[in-house]
């Protein structure tokens, strides 16, 4: 029998060779699938670990924020505690002066008032409260409050002629401006 030109060029694959090729391909696919499953399991484990680390970091950050908030609230609540403690000595001194006013002479009362003022000055110094006494200085509306203007032949115009009430500042921040009388030039 004669095979045609197509029969000479290629022989049909036998059923055995097709089965063995499919088995090889099936084994390779199974091995690849198993490798992908292992990689997926490893990636999922890594993702769980990373999520756990993230959740711990978030919780720690929240704890730090809450702790800082409590510290701030405590600082605000007790900020004046030291100053108030210093003022107690001033209050005690004033109380003693009031109770002994009827039986004390003028010199004793004056000495008590001076001692009380020293206690108050010490408390102010301890907490950086500074008295502003701008007599003779140029008038500064950010530090002084003019209560009136007065002509003066000897003072420079727009300078502080007299301090009616001293001002105070706390660590460079104005608590109360000094109330002053400002010099103005003599009208000619």
pLDDT of the residue at 8: 47
Cα 43 from chain centroid (whole Å): 41
Q: What is the pLDDT of residue 45?
A: 96
Closest CA to 138 of 174, 183, 187: 183
| Cα 28–Cα 33–Cα 34 angle in degrees, nearest 5 | 100
Q: Angle of helix 106-126 relative to helix 81-100, nearest 10 degrees?
A: 180
Q: pTM score, two decimals?
A: 0.57
**Which stretches of the chain drop beneath a pLDDT of 50?**
1, 6-10, 188
- Whole-number mean pLDDT of the chain? 86
For residue 171, give every residue at least 6 positions away whose Cβ sits within 8 Å of its Cβ, in sequence order, or none. 128
pLDDT in tens, 119-139: 999 999 998 999 999 999 999
Give every CB contact of residue 112 below 8 A, 6+ residues apart in sequence: 93, 96, 97, 100, 104
Percentage helix, strand, coil for the chain under 3-state DSSP, each rounded to 5: 60, 20, 25
């Amino acid at each position: 029998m004669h095979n045609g030109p197509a029969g000479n060029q290629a022989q049909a694959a036998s059923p055995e060779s097709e089965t063995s090729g499919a088995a090889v391909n099936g084994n390779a696919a199974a091995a690849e699938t198993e490798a992908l499953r292992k990689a997926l399991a490893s990636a999922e484990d890594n993702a769980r670990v990373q999520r756990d680390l993230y959740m711990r970091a978030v919780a720690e950050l929240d704890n730090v924020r809450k702790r800082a908030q409590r510290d701030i609230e405590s600082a605000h609540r007790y900020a004046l505690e030291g100053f108030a403690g210093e003022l107690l000595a001033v209050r005690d001194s004033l109380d003693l002066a009031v109770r002994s006013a009827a039986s004390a002479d003028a010199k004793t009362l004056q000495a008590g008032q001076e001692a009380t003022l020293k206690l108050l000055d010490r408390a102010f110094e301890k907490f950086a409260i500074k008295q502003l006494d701008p007599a003779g200085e140029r008038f500064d509306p950010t530090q002084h409050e003019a209560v009136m203007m007065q002509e003066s032949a000897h003072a420079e115009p727009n300078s502080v002629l007299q301090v009616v009430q001293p001002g105070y500042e706390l660590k460079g921040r104005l608590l109360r401006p000094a109330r002053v009388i400002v010099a103005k030039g003599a009208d000619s």
